[in-house]
Amino acid sequence: MLTAEDKKLIQQGWEKASSHQEDFGAEALIRMFTAYPQTKTYFPHFDLSPGSDQIRGHGKKVLNALGNAVKNLDNLSQALSELSNLHAYNLRVDPVNFKLLSQCIQVVLAAHMGKEYTPEMHAAFDKFLSAVSAVLAEKYR
Ligand code: HNI
């Protein structure tokens, strides 16, 4: 459950990320593919070399979707409903992978925001990304 303070920190932190969607998204994906190579199996049709057009394009889409979630913090299930269907029914991504990508996204935010990424902001993003992951995985039940 996100508190009013969490929501404020997420919105504040996202202001920084939103102007670097493509870079941050691509970096998070490369980190995921490098640290957890098993995640590459979902992208056999992609050129997975760092900086490829597909990685950048996909990174931008993922961060854009998170930006949409940030705008709908009180209504995540509805805001992410189509993506939830896509990941469960079409892509069939094993839900364990959401945690892996979430961790990589946090590393990217922390690495780029430095001191601004306070422990409180970290905790707020941790809750937010867990909530997003829960929605993306809820259709598997
Ligand atoms: Ni995910 C497509 C968002 C986690 C594998 N994913 C998308 C799209 C968005 C998106 C947006 C593009 C939809 C469209 O084109 O209509 N994905 C997200 C978000 C998260 C996430 C917000 C979690 C934070 N996806 C994951 C994970 C995996 C994953 C953890 C697998 C490891 N996603 C995919 C694949 C596609 C995809 C595969 C299709 C890519 C393509 O273009 O073919």
pLDDT tens-place string over residues 109-135: 999 999 999 999 999 999 999 999 999
CA of 120 to the centre of ligand 1 (A): 27
Question: Does 128 sit in the ligand 1 pocket, CB within 6 Å?
Answer: no
Q: Are 120 and 9 in contact (CB under 8 A)?
A: yes
Instruction: Determine whether the shortest distance from the Cβ of 36 to ligand 1 is under 6 A.
Output: no
Q: What is the CA radius of gyration of the chain?
A: 14
What are the two backbone dihedrals, phi and then psi, of residue 2, each rounded to the nearest 5 degrees? Answer: -85, 130
Confidence at 78, pLDDT banded by 50, 70, 90: very high
Give the integer Cα–Cα distance in Å for 80 and 98.
14
Q: What pTM does this model have?
A: 0.96
User: Any idea which residue has 């809750």 for tokens?
Assistant: 127
